[in-house]
Amino acid sequence: MRVGVICIKFISIQERRIEPLEYAYGTTINAVDLPVPEARVVGTATCKFRYWAFLNTNKEVSETFTVDAIDIYLFAVYDTGVSTSFELTDDGYYIPTSTDGKTTQTRFSDYTLNDGEIYSVDMTLPADWSTYTDDCGPVFSASAFNEEKTSFIGEPYVTMFISAPTKANGAIEFWGDVDTPNGTVDAQLIARYRLGGDLLKDTPYEKKMLAYQESDEEATFTLTYRRVERTVEGVTKISYYIGIDGIEYICLTTGEVAVRYSEISNAANAFSTKHTGNIVGLRAKTKGVKYSNITVKKASELNVKFYAENGGEAIESKSFGYGKAMGTLPVATREGFDFAGWYYTDYITGAKKELTAETIASADMFNIEAVAQWRKTGAKPYTVKFNTGIDGYEVDDVTGWYEGNEIKLPEP
């Protein structure tokens, strides 16, 4: 090093190294004249360069500084999309910077969730399920975020939790504002769906959660939140379709009680009409919970996988544009049986529904698994008609195909 020459060295955490710069002692340097590193790619996140900071003080190089008598080290600060209450690790995980048991929240500065879009987050639970203590999950429908306090508190927002083992043990629950006969109440239980309950019993989520609880390994669940807005007679309602690992189980609609609600004590509480915000984020309290692969994207297509039988391999997968008829569908074959159409389970309502060429791909359908229905070759159709003997009281006909199976009659 030449006498009187000071070196500025740059720590950019990039493959492409930024060469040090030499200046004479006492030189005034403008921050805008410093080199700008490329965006940093961490996992699926692309983090833009924000500013240089002094290594010895962590303070931002905001305007000008004077070259002192010793070498200067500057490190690059990148925009991870979240506040300082979360950090982005080198292997692509967002984790809370605080692990003292306090609830930590953050928003995503580059993301908003609008009509027809999906907010997707991979949530990884710790290897030891017993250490999970609740209060962790994505935040959506927020209208404001307090950057100083790094909190959504004080504004309407919804958090989805996977319930702790000491509470509802893997249940899916939602907390936020509810509309009651006496007005709006904030920070309330909107809905809770328990393992083994009507909504989740024998579903892929329940099976995966129970297997995880018995293991000694981490488990990652992909959580999705799809926003759909509808205006009927001048009133706009917002629906959030909530999915886990590609299957949508729950729909929350402003002004309406959650479908297939499982907590009778709060069954009269409606999902508040105040939940119109589009800010999304994360919430965490448990050490060991981490998030990754966070995206917001347009939901322009409905994907359908077709199965010849439950539990088998998909024979075909097709995508359909929303608002359009499905048209030609695959035809499955099975020896000794005639193909009788495609059916899928709507987890949100619990109904079994048919797919045909005339079915319109609509916003209340997403990532459907259609299973072929069969009838034995040569089976004859039947119709059962009912005479109640009571004027004005009628029972719908029961139709089907006689194959030696039990005929299910309606309850009187």
Task: Please spell the DSSP secondary structure of 71-127, one letter per residue.
Answer: -EEEEEEEE-SS-TTEEE-TTS-EEES--SS--EEEEEEEEE--TTEEEEEEEEEPS
- Distance of alpha carbon 20 from its chain centroid, rounded? 44
What's the average model confidence in pLDDT over 208-214? 97
Quote the pLDDT of residue 371. Answer: 94
> In 3-state terms, what secondary structure has residue 204?
helix
Instruction: State the residue for tokens 């909504």.
Output: 199
61 vs 104, residue with greater confidence = 61
pLDDT band at 1 (very low <50, low <70, confident <90, very high): very low
Give the per-residue pLDDT at 145: 86
Mean pLDDT of 88-112: 79
Percentage of the residues of the chain whose pLDDT score is greater than 90: 40
Residue 333 in this model has a pLDDT that exceeds 80:
yes
Q: Which pLDDT score, from 0 to 100, does residue 245 have?
A: 93
| Residue 247: predicted pLDDT | 87
Please report where in the chains the tokens 């950090």 appear, as a residue: 87
Distance, CA of 319 to CA of 150 (rounded, Å): 40
Instruction: Quote the CA–CA distance of 206 and 81 in Å, as a whole number.
Output: 32
User: 102 or 37: whose pLDDT is higher?
Assistant: 37
Least confident of 1-5, 37-41, 108-112, 218-222: 1-5
Tokens 């979360």 correspond to 86
pLDDT at 58: 80
Q: Compare 400 and 173 and report the one with higher pLDDT.
A: 173
State which H helix or E strand residue 250 sits in. strand 247-253
* Alpha helices, DSSP H, located in 154-282: 204-214
**In the chain, what is the straight-line distance between the N-terminal and C-terminal CA atoms, in Å?**
97
pLDDT number for residue 401: 65
pLDDT category of residue 105 using cuts at 50, 70 and 90: confident
Average pLDDT over residues 81-90: 80
At residue 212, φ and ψ (nearest 5 deg) are -60, -45
| Confidence class for position 267, pLDDT limits 50, 70, 90 | low
How far, in whole angstroms, is CA 131 from its chain's centroid? 23
Instruction: Return d(Cα 207, Cα 199) in angstroms, integer.
Output: 13
Burial of 255 (0-12, 13-18, 19+ CB in 10 A): middle
Q: How far apart are CA 102 and CA 285, in angstroms?
A: 6
For the residues 120-146, what does the mean pLDDT come to? 91
Q: Which residues of 172-206 are buried (b: 16+ CB within 10 A; e: fewer)?
A: bbbbbbbbeeeeeeeeeebbbbbbebebbeebebb
Question: Is pLDDT at 393 greater than 90 in this prediction?
Answer: no
Asked if residues 322 and 300 have their Cβ atoms less than 8 Å apart, the reply is yes
**What's the average model confidence in pLDDT over 64-93?**
84
Measured CA to CA, the distance from residue 23 to residue 398 in angstroms comes to: 90
Residue 337, helix vs strand vs coil? strand
Taking CA atoms, 350 is separated from 71, 198, 201, 259, 375, in Å, by 68, 9, 11, 10, 23
Sheet of 86-88, strand order: 86-88, 94-96, 290-298, 117-125, 219-232, 235-244, 247-253
Mean pLDDT score of the chain:
86
pLDDT for 382: 76
Q: Could you tell me what percentage of the chain is helix, strand and coil, using 3-state DSSP and rounding each to the nearest 5?
A: 5, 50, 50
Max avg pLDDT among 98-112, 142-156, 188-202: 188-202
The Cα 320–Cα 259 span in angstroms is 26
Higher pLDDT, 168 or 301: 168
Among candidates 87, 100, 88, 98, which has minimal Cα distance to 41?
88
Rounded to 5 degrees, what are φ and ψ at 205?
A: -65, -50
Average pLDDT over residues 47-72: 86
pLDDT recorded at residue 411? 65
Would you place residue 44 in the very low, low, confident or very high pLDDT band (cuts 50, 70, 90)?
A: confident
